[in-house]
Amino acid sequence: MRGNKARRGVAALVAAAAVAGVALQGAGAAVAAGPGARGDAGYGRAVLEQDVAAVRKAGGKVKVLAQVRRGGESVRARAGAGTKVPWNARFRVASTTKTFTAAVVLQLVDEGKLSLDDSVEKWLPGVVSGNGNDGSRITVRDLLRQTSGLFDYVEDPELIRAVTEEFDENRYDATPAREWVRVAMRHEPVFTPRPDAPRWAYSNTNYLLAGMIAEKADGRTWREQVEQRVIAPLGLHETSVTGTDPFLRGPHARVLLPGPDGGTLDVTEHTLQHTADSAVVSTTRDLNAFYRALMSGKLLPEGQLAEMKRTVERTDDPDDVAAWPEGGYGLGVRETPLSCGGSYWHHEGDGFGTYTRTGVTPDGRRSVAVSVTSDGQAPDQVKLNAATRTLVDHALCGRGK
């Protein structure tokens, strides 16, 4: 199942079983720009509208919402048939949650409550063991930068079957992180980590363990720490951690996917994304604020931010390289080059019919957040990624068509 892009979160597993052969549809004319749509000489409303339309065309039957922040200015645009996506729509950010989790762990490191060089075994004795798995050889740093080699629990065949064939029966699942880690331990690791020559493979299991370690080190739940260390200090009033609440509170778009019986499946309400790899709900406004604050040093001191931005090569995951052809992976963030020189930082999120794309310059002055919502069809993610990368590059470089 390593070719399945569900690896970015349990979410797209539903789509994998249902969308083969569905034709892409054009972007149509339903594109609108939001208030405050100013920009610099090379970028503004017209370019963003074109880029959002291109994202919708690449995605097919989807709705798109994008917001660009450049200094004190903001530009927004949206596209999609039927009911428009609310400008302040809430959506599940899926694996973009990983940046939030990494920020929490790095704050704990700065406070001396744990070390990036601590082993998983030190904090979670016996949890990572069996079938060649050895928590004494995996560090906290390995978890955050995806160099542990641990099997990705969302690729477990039984889990895949449950969400592709029996979604309605399992949509309110609240399996705790520790149990999903046990599922991962039924499988051999992809590789054994080597500190002198890091190997890399994306695994959501890493962030379940990172959240569990954060709880042991701090005494508060992972959810409480995200709320109290990130959301509240930054005033992210439209951001929350779902826990086992299945509902999207506030304005949002319905999320529709093809069902296994050939009909349409509404997957808007569910609890499947409730752990430290996927549980954050946010808006384009708040994601921009989060990444800008992160890169400008408002969440982490200089040393820990430097640790976050120290990347490794992605060596053992061809699916990931196909999805993101350039750049390395740091601690909960990716680095991708810009056409105008330099690079930007981001983390994608692929959920059950929801796809989040972000980007921020190293100084935090320019950022962009994009939300794509399935409206009856799951997108080809390679095409979607290419279109969203173009949008991000235009937004951060300040130029476009």
Active-site residues: which are they? 95
Helix (H, G, I), strand (E, B) or coil at 258: strand
HSE-CB of 286 using CA atoms within 13 angstroms:
25
**What's the DSSP call for residue 228?**
I
**What's the DSSP call for residue 261?**
T
Q: Which two tokens stand for residue 363?
A: 């100084």
Strands (E), 18-124: 31-33, 62-70, 73-79, 91-92
- Give the integer Cα–Cα distance in Å for 226 and 81: 35
Residues forming a β-bridge with 32: 78
Distance of CA 203 to the CA centre of its chain: 12
- Give the integer Cα–Cα distance in Å for 29 and 384: 19
Q: Which two tokens stand for residue 305?
A: 């931010």
Check: CB of residue 110 under 8 Å from CB of residue 341.
no
Q: How many CB atoms lie within 10 A of CB 82?
A: 9
Backbone angles phi, psi at 54, to 5 degrees: -65, -35
**What's the DSSP call for residue 24?**
P
- Residue corresponding to tokens 């009911």: 83
Q: Positive or negative, the Cα torsion across 271, 272, 275, 281?
A: negative
